[in-house]
Structure 1
Amino acid sequence: MQNYIDYRKTQKPLEFENLVVEIGFGSGDFLIKLAKENRNEIFFGIEKSWIPVNKLLKKCGLKKINNIYCIRLDAYWAFQLLFRDNSVKKIIMNYPDPWFKKSHAERRLTRRENLYVYAKKLINDGEVKIRTDDYSFVEFTLQEASFLNCFSINVSNPTINEPLTKYEKRWLSMGKNIWDIVLKKEKEPITLKINEIKEVSELYPVRISADRVDVELVAYKEFKIEEALYIKCFSIWKKGQDYAVEVLLSENGFLQSFMVTVKKKNDYFIIDVSKFSEVLKTEGIQKALNFLAKIIGKERS
């Protein structure tokens, strides 16, 4: 697992320079080929699922490749949390999901908020290179990139050389066009307000000064703690006077799932994140603990 980066445990930002990053590396073959041909460069892969991550790690082990690192995380947060400004020289996206419906535009990897974060991390003259078979996605990307006023933009129909991916074989056999988009950073982007999260060095347990708690009050309920900070509670387990609660926290769109424990201590209770839950320590989690403590420990007639 030496090629895998656990964003919850690693010191951030990473100390890499001139990175080549592929977003959505799939089988990992493209990234493996680049790394084998450029042994003195560092490559970084980003995926949201364990399946491609495990495939890539296995291939790196079999081929003894040590200049690839990867992470399982949404690309927006991976760039924001892990990389220093001006530390990435190229970003590659091969056939990203175009998310056809307008209602799904927030999921597109080239929405302006994502491109803004990419641009901040790119070196001067660094590039975002995108290959797609969907022209509506090309149009969307060009519109979003132009808004930031920091890229020179080039669009072309590339010559597709062997070896072809299974998608390229299918699309070319159907007579579909393929486009390459190259966004080259020429200056810093315009200022754009984006979603961010703030890490803290430690999460502190919260004391509930009460001789009893009513944890069932939060079971299968969703709460708005503050703007862009929500928590949803699910199952509750009880053993004696101790409890465990399954929760999902959304903090400016960053999702974390973990267990919260409520334990009896003499004449009070302690609410905390379970020691078996691995989380990115954020202000939002601390606020969630304080919020839940007030609900379950409130005196009732």
Structure 2
Amino acid sequence: MKHYIDWRKVKKPLEFENITVEIGFGSGDFLIKMAKENPEEIFFGIEKSWIPVNKLLKKCSSHSINNVFCTKLDAYWAIQLLFKDKAIKKIFMNYPDPWFKKSHAERRLTKMENLYLYAKKLISSGEVKIRTDDYSFVEFTLQEAAFLNCFSINVSNPSIDEPLTKYEKRWLSMGKNIWDIVLKKEKEPITLKISEIKEVTELYPVKVSADIVDVELIANKEFKIEDALYIKCFSVWERGQDYALEVLLSENEFLQSFIVTVKKKNDYFIIDVSKFSEVLKTEGIQKALKFLGKIIGKEKL
């Protein structure tokens, strides 16, 4: 298996057991260090940008590391989609963005919904280890974790003789405090309703029974298909009676951007996801194709 895991293509969940995950691995040095010290174990990194992913892949190659894998995806969805329950032994977060404003709390990696998901994926006695320099983030995390009633909680000020990062060195020289939070899973969390998406094996094209379609009815417009399922359509490319347009789909806040094609076939049209678009096949995409097909075919919704 290659170091990079394309979450759209692999069979999910992955077969990894008892692995260590780092959320937001940055330069990748922490993962590389752990992998070198524990060559018999598997380590997995999650990032939202290609820049750190490419840095990590280069370091894996230059250091001949074979026990590190990574993906580029929001941590919540990566944890949910890629890992089996009770498959992770440790989750590390080194200086996650605290999202200082209360209005941004939903973006914090330690909000209750995320911690619930981490707990489900952790083995018994598995741990979430967080290092931060922001005490308000510590307080927020402890409050969210306590509600789930599944973790033992320990907070400490670590002694860092050799700072792991240039930021730690700078903060310590400024006299700033650093906190370590350890959330150890003692039992299963209370049941919590969380955002989920359902993957399907195949996406089937939608037949639009019409001699003529009006793609301009969906161009540069946004639609609510159902609760928590929205689609935004952009400009249309046209060639004869074939069309293509870029769309952005929000499915329980899981975002995917792809190209939708509308092609003439005899006395009907076919609306489908372009073969050049790589997507996670979900129920939401299938519903979106049917919804758009009805509009351009001028059917009643």
TM over 0.5: yes
1:229 Cα offset (Å): 0.2
Q: 1:266 to 1:97 in 2, by over 3 A?
A: same
Q: 2:238, 2:251 → 1: CA distance?
A: 27
State the identity as a percent: 84
Counterpart in 1 of 2:241?
241
Runs of 4+ aligned structure 1 residues displaced above 2 Å come to none
> Gapped runs of 5+ residues in structure 1?
none
Q: 1:166, 1:295 → 2: CA distance?
A: 55
| 2:200 counterpart letter in structure 1 | V
Q: 1:114, 1:82 → 2: CA distance?
A: 15
3-state SS of 1:105 partner = helix
Q: 1:6 to 1:299 in 2, by over 3 A?
A: closer
| 1:126 counterpart letter in structure 2 | G
Q: 1:179, 1:41 → 2: CA distance?
A: 27
1:161 Cα offset (Å): 2.5
Q: 1:250, 1:167 → 2: CA distance?
A: 35
3-state SS of 2:14 partner = coil
1:175 Cα offset (Å): 0.9
1:272 Cα offset (Å): 0.2
Counterpart in 1 of 2:176?
176
Question: Is 1:53 equivalent to 2:53 in the alignment?
Answer: yes
Deviations 1:142-174 (A, max 9, x none): 000000000000000000131431110111111
Counterpart in 2 of 1:91?
91
- Aligned residue pairs: how many? 300
Q: TM-score, normalised by structure 1?
A: 0.98
Q: 1:180, 1:106 → 2: CA distance?
A: 22
> Gapped runs of 5+ residues in structure 2?
none
3-state SS of 2:17 partner = coil
| 2:124 counterpart letter in structure 1 | N
1:299 Cα offset (Å): 6.3
Q: 1:222, 1:151 → 2: CA distance?
A: 42
| 2:37 counterpart letter in structure 1 | E
Q: 1:155 to 1:299 in 2, by over 3 A?
A: closer
Q: 1:55, 1:201 → 2: CA distance?
A: 33
Deviations 1:48-80 (A, max 9, x none): 001100100011011110100000001100111
RMSD: 1.0
Counterpart in 2 of 1:82?
82
Counterpart in 2 of 1:269?
269
3-state SS of 2:275 partner = coil
Q: 2:194, 2:226 → 1: CA distance?
A: 17
Q: After TM superposition, list the pairs within 5 Å mapping 1:57-136 onto structure 2.
A: 57-136=57-136
Question: Is 1:230 equivalent to 2:236 in the alignment?
Answer: no
Q: TM-score, normalised by structure 2?
A: 0.98
